[in-house]
Amino acid sequence: MPLPNCETLLLNLEAGVLQVTLSRPDNRNAMSLAMVDELRAVLAAVHGDLSVRAIVLRGAGGHFCAGGDIKDMASARASGADAYRTLNRAFGSLLEQAQHTPQVLIAVLEGAVLGGGLGLACVCDIAIARQDARFGLPETSLGILPAQIAPFVVARIGLTQTRRLALTAARFDGSEAERLGLVHFSEPDDAALEARLQQVLSQVRQCAPQANAATKALLLASENAALGPLLDSAAEQFAAAVTGAEGVEGTLAFMQKRAPKWAE
């Protein structure tokens, strides 16, 4: 599985975990169109490879992501509304793709988690933040809209809280993000952050990769699909899983009181 060459990302694949570090530290890892394209290419490269058990997103230089790149917006100004529309929609396509990646997607959040950075955190399966990280939706304070981010934030924390945050551009910390349900854990320092990440990765490794991918797809489908057809489809998937290689190995390992092969 060759990974693409990247200029805005640092990649490290080890023991089934792909570490993806946003690496534009001079501007707090603001999301440029080049970074969007590279992230999409990385997700596409590993999409069918379930030997990659988890993808960890984090930022270089003490920040996760400070939002969209103002330089890209300035460049688009010369081309008019169509260029802005294309630029904005590209980020939404990244969020859709990240939401549906079959691997477990984990965000490690430090420093600035603003605008598009907050949106990216909202599509991760598990989010771990430092307590002193700074979250916010600053778009309306700049006279613009959180256009591609808003649906994902609403799905994450609900309409009422999203309205408050988007219509005030209020900043809040990791502890508040945990209270809102935007992140799952908020930790006091780097050591605790890394310990929590390793705990989560250890838990992920206990789960069968194909079962995780199918479960993630089922959970996402449950938001909008009609219940009866969804349960019919889920029953078919259950039958396939329990008679498939992972189901056979998992039940046999349980009976033999040993770890299944994927957890070794």
Domain coordinates in residue numbering, the chain: 9-205, 209-263
DSSP H helices in the chain: 33-46, 70-77, 81-99, 116-122, 150-157, 159-168, 174-180, 190-205, 209-221, 227-243, 245-255
171-173 and 134-136 beta bridge pairing? antiparallel
- Spell out the residues 6+ positions from residue 169 whose beta carbon is closer than 8 angstroms to its own: 136, 137, 138, 139, 140, 141
Q: In the CATH scheme, what is the code of domain 9-205?
A: 3.90.226.10
pLDDT tens for 114-145 read: 999 999 999 999 999 999 999 999 999 999 99
Q: Which residues of 217-255 are buried (b: 16+ CB within 10 A; e: fewer)?
A: ebeeeeeeeeeeeeeeebeeeeeebeeeebbeebeebee
CA distance 183 to 121: 8
CA distance 138 to 245: 48
Split at pLDDT 50, 70, 90, the class of 83 is confident
The values of phi and psi at residue 137, to 5°, are -115, 90
pLDDT over 70 at 48, yes or no: yes
pLDDT over 70 at 17, yes or no: yes
Of the CA atoms within 13 Å of residue 168, those in its CB half-sphere come to: 10
| pLDDT for the residue 82 | 81
Mean pLDDT score of the chain? 94
| Percentage of the chain exceeding pLDDT 70 | 96
Rg (CA), the chain: 19
| pLDDT for the residue 77 | 65
Q: In the CATH scheme, what is the code of domain 209-263?
A: 1.10.12
pTM: 0.94
pLDDT over 90 at 79, yes or no: no
Read out DSSP for 153-170?
HHHHH-HHHHHHHHHHT-
**DSSP character at residue 131:** T
Split at pLDDT 50, 70, 90, the class of 194 is very high
